[in-house]
Amino acid sequence: MNPFKYGQVVQDKDFCQRPDLIKRLSEVITKGQNVYVQGERRIGKTSLICECVRQLKKHRLIYIDLLEVKETDDFIKRIISAIVSMEQKGGMVERILKKLAHIRPTISFDPLTGMPTIGFDETIAFSQDSIHGVLDLIYSYHTKQRSIVVVFDEFQDILNLKDAKEILAVLRSKVQFHSDVSYIFSGSVRNKMVEIFTYPDSPFYKSATSLDVGPLDQDNFRAFLKKKFNKGKREIAPEVWEKIFEISAHVPGDIQQFCDALWDITSEKEHITLEHLPKALESIFAHEFKGYETTLKIISGQQLKVLTGLARMGGKAPTSAKFAKGLGGIATSSIQKAIERLMDLKIVFYFEDEYRFTNPFFRAWLLYKNL
Ligand SMILES: Nc1ncnc2c1ncn2[C@@H]1O[C@H](COP(=O)(O)OP(=O)(O)O)[C@@H](O)[C@H]1O
Ligand SMILES: [Mg+2]
């Protein structure tokens, strides 16, 4: 069976240890402090947080995912669902139903998996005013013996809400009041997280310490992955590792996806060499090309030119004369505009003095297609 996992939270044996980050986060949690965790997509933030709480054993996690949240009503429902999900793990779903009786929730169990899903009375729409209530409900679970850890994941998406500022203010006041509960705010869109936590006019200004999650230590991660290949009786040539990390832009989730593809195209006792890489990439492209093509449909010819330029020449100096010349002499102001659009579309992002592809395999595909 393919041992590589990506596109999901990894924990326990599937989690390659990151002792320094786990140690720092554990300290924050056990002291009941608040922290905002930032790092790129698929770098391992959610896994780090879940694994850390798992290792702490005496803490319980309330995990609220705010990815693409757009309405206040939905925001509140996600918090309630997170509480239900925690109760389910403790086998106490009835208890939560009692506590929430006034909003008439219904719980149904998926016949296949037994997982509960919560249904809400359609006539009830939650507004800002309900935030106090649901956060107090969370707090009612907090005891000295079993501390609660509240995680708001993809927290930057709270800015999508129309009344974001007011909601942030209410949230902040509650978080401050629950001084012995650790709140973790995790986010992958750096500039928005910075806006929330470091702008003086933001309600969350100076409300939490920060924790940066970068790539995994390369030697550690490589040993972790190598073991998986070896268990499946596959050997990897040393120079292949360098390439895997480079093509995947050192992003753990993408590295695991690449290993997954390499595994799939090889069999037991095979020695994996550089020659296997194109085939592994092709198998990734075969899964993903529809998404790539959709992306191409929504950008202009000029933007595509700049994008392929970034793929070929890298994103360190796209407004330099050299880069413009490489594109056949496009005005630098047009390049800048195209890049802004590509960033809005989240096709590229800017980090550490460089424009980078959100999906490194998309970059590889552009080069492969010679677009
Ligand atoms: N510590 C780790 N050990 C092994 N793989 C990891 C680790 N952290 C992240 N990954 C890989 O990255 C993927 C995405 O991790 P996730 O925690 O969801 O990232 P994020 O929340 O930053 O987007 C995982 O499915 C896994 O493939
Ligand atoms: Mg995540």
Q: For the domain that residue 27 is a member of, what is the CATH number?
A: 3.40.50.300
| Residues 180, 86 share a domain | yes
Read off the tokens for 40. Answer: 């790129």
- The predicted model scores a pTM of 0.93
Beta carbon of 47 within 6 Å of any ligand 1 atom: yes
Q: Are strands 354-357 and 348-351 parallel, antiparallel or unpaired?
A: antiparallel
- Do 111 and 197 belong to one domain? yes
Taking CA atoms only, the protein residue closest to ligand 1 atom 14 is: 42
Contact 175, 34 (CB under 8 A): yes
Q: State the pLDDT at residue 97.
A: 76
Q: Are 358 and 349 in contact (CB under 8 A)?
A: yes
Shared-domain flag, residues 49 and 144 = yes
Domain that holds residue 341: 298-371
Instruction: Tokens 């429902």: give the residue.
Output: 77
Q: Are residues 263 and 354 in the same domain?
A: no
pLDDT at residue 104, as a whole number: 77
Phi/psi of residue 335, each to 5°? -60, -45
**Measured between alpha carbons, how far is 197 from 205 in angstroms, rounded to an integer?**
5
* 43 assigned to some structural domain: yes
Is the distance from the beta carbon of residue 9 to the nearest atom of ligand 1 less than 6 Å?
yes
The CA-based angle 153-225-230, given to 5 degrees, is: 150
Q: Is residue 1 part of a domain?
A: no
**283 and 359 belong to one structural domain:** no
Ligand nearest to the CA of 49: 1
Q: Which ligand is nearest to the CA of 42?
A: 1
Please report whether residue 327 resides in a domain: yes
Domain limit, last residue, from 183, 212, 241: 212
Q: Which atom of ligand 1 is nearest to the CA of 47?
A: 17
Go through 328-360 and write b for each residue having 16 or more CB atoms within 10 A of its CB, e for each that does not.
eebeeeebeebbebbeeeebbbeeeeebbbbbb
Using CA positions, which residue lies closest to atom 8 of ligand 1? 44
140 and 42 in one domain?
A: yes
Specify if 178 maps to a domain: yes
Ligand 2 centroid from CA 61, angstroms = 15
Quick one: 106 and 227 in the same domain?
Answer: no
Please tell me whether residues 171 and 241 are part of one structural domain. no
For position 91, what pLDDT does the model report? 67
- Looking at 196, 212, 228, the residue that finishes a domain is 212
Q: What is the pLDDT of residue 329?
A: 87
Q: Left if phi > 0, otherwise alpha if psi is -120 to 50, otherwise beta: which for 105?
A: beta
- Beta-bridge partner residues of 182: 149
Q: Domain ends where: 174, 189, 212? A: 212
| Whether 85 and 173 share a structural domain | yes
Ligand 1 touching residue 15 (CB < 6 A): yes
pLDDT in the model for residue 177: 92
136 assigned to some structural domain: yes
Residue 46 beta carbon below 6 angstroms from any ligand 1 atom = yes
Total domains in the fold of the chain:
3
From residue 36, how far is each of 49, 93, 119, 154, 218 by CA, in Å? Answer: 11, 30, 31, 11, 24
Instruction: Tell me how crowded residue 314 is: count the other CB atoms within 10 A of its CB.
Output: 14
- Residues 66, 22 share a domain: yes
Task: Give me the tens of pLDDT residue by residue for the chain, a chain 371 residues long.
Answer: 899 999 999 999 999 999 999 999 999 999 999 999 999 999 999 999 999 999 998 999 999 999 999 999 999 999 998 988 887 776 677 777 777 777 777 878 888 887 777 888 778 788 888 898 899 999 998 998 899 999 999 999 999 999 999 999 999 999 999 989 999 999 999 899 999 999 999 999 999 999 999 999 999 999 999 999 999 999 999 999 999 999 999 999 999 999 999 999 999 999 999 999 999 999 999 999 999 999 999 999 999 999 999 999 999 999 999 999 999 989 999 999 999 999 999 999 999 999 999 999 999 999 999 98
The predicted pLDDT at position 321 comes to 94
* Cβ(203)–Cβ(169) below 8 Å: yes
Ligand 1 pocket check for 250: Cβ under 6 Å: no
Sign of CA dihedral 41, 74, 62, 203: positive
CATH of residue 265's domain is 1.10.8
Beta carbons of 261 and 11 less than 8 angstroms apart:
no
Residues 54, 176, single domain; the answer is yes
CA 167 to chain centre: 22
Span from the CA of 47 to the centroid of ligand 2 (angstroms): 7
Torsion of CA 262, 265, 269, 275, to 10 degrees: -70
Closest ligand to Cα 67:
2
pLDDT score of 90: 66
